[in-house]
Structure 1
């Protein structure tokens, strides 16, 4: 199930694909002791939300050049759980001995978009910013956090710094590879770990950093988003004995650059 947003190769005709037979999306809801979790992913445009979702849902991997040269605003479709068997299988996991089915909801990053439908019945919100874009971190506090608290005030939040590989990259080479008219990344744009931790502490939420290029932090983000969701659910559904072993979100091991 290829990730969206990657243009077709010029001159190569698309391969026709037989449509998959519709699957019963409610199958996980009916399995005993399987916790289905709706995880909404929000943040500014071009911070890496959809790439992060595709890395978890489809095991999609891309080089830094592909990420820099092919970005178009896009949203990963929730219908993938209905039409793609691989995505449905990868949604299933076991965290702290609890069986879960993780349903990821992508969103547009435009500030004027109405996202109230996406927030509805959410179990956890993953709030993303780019570690190479200070404005996207400022918008976490001025726009995204207030919006989340307005539409789902009791839903736990996990803060995620995306594009960690750019912190250690050759920025001159990165800027040459970026699509035309893209704003160059300056050394002063790169955010140190302390900035993300400070904002997370101020908001009272756990913080993680990720790189789709290096395949770092993806499991950390979503395993701990699951933990945050199920800790919250345990308070409301205290009779569920299988949730007693669920831990609170864990600290992340530091990234060791190559």
Structure 2
């Protein structure tokens, strides 16, 4: 018969270990959401600053509406082939960041993530030229509420949604291909379909990525590699950041009020 004191000690050690993992998980998720939030702030400031510098009421270089003109700086961004580089730079940045993450320290990865957030801000800054500020704020608020609910569900659900991953990634690839094709076609119907499907896909990814971040931490916390966990938090922040940004852009395309 097993000694009662041995059983109780073993149970106590397991309980202590579980408590430590739970505490570490909370700290890990706080780091993920905190890093993501700073990235969102950098993106918003970069987008606002670029669009603000680019638009003036005085005719200078390039007219975009009855009372709006681009400055020379704005023309270099929005009215020249440079706009294509800025448009696709975030996509290239993500691929490069993901490929090089293992060779970076956690501190370097964090700096690169913030640099990516600034580049993304430049890439989406044209929304201030297309949509009213009020509709941008309203859609952002709706996105934030939806994101919070979906992420909370992904964190708390007992259902295993890991099987969603391959299906959702295939959906993202389909959206990218369709978006590139529609740049040349310019079909409003295709754009509407892309936006509607995109909202559903990135809503699913928000829940999936949140659960994946949680499960990855639980699986790897036993190794105690703080450097690896730090980089995992930044990668998790990147994934959730992309889910939020893309869901916001899709909703803005559907419901944003144009200038």
TM-score per shorter chain, which class? under 0.3
More strand by share: 1
Bigger relative contact order, structure 1 or 2, given CA contacts below 8 A and separation 6+?
2
Bigger proportion of residues as helix: 2
TM-score normalised by L of structure 2: 0.27
Taking structure 1 as the reference length, what is the TM-score of the superposition? Answer: 0.27
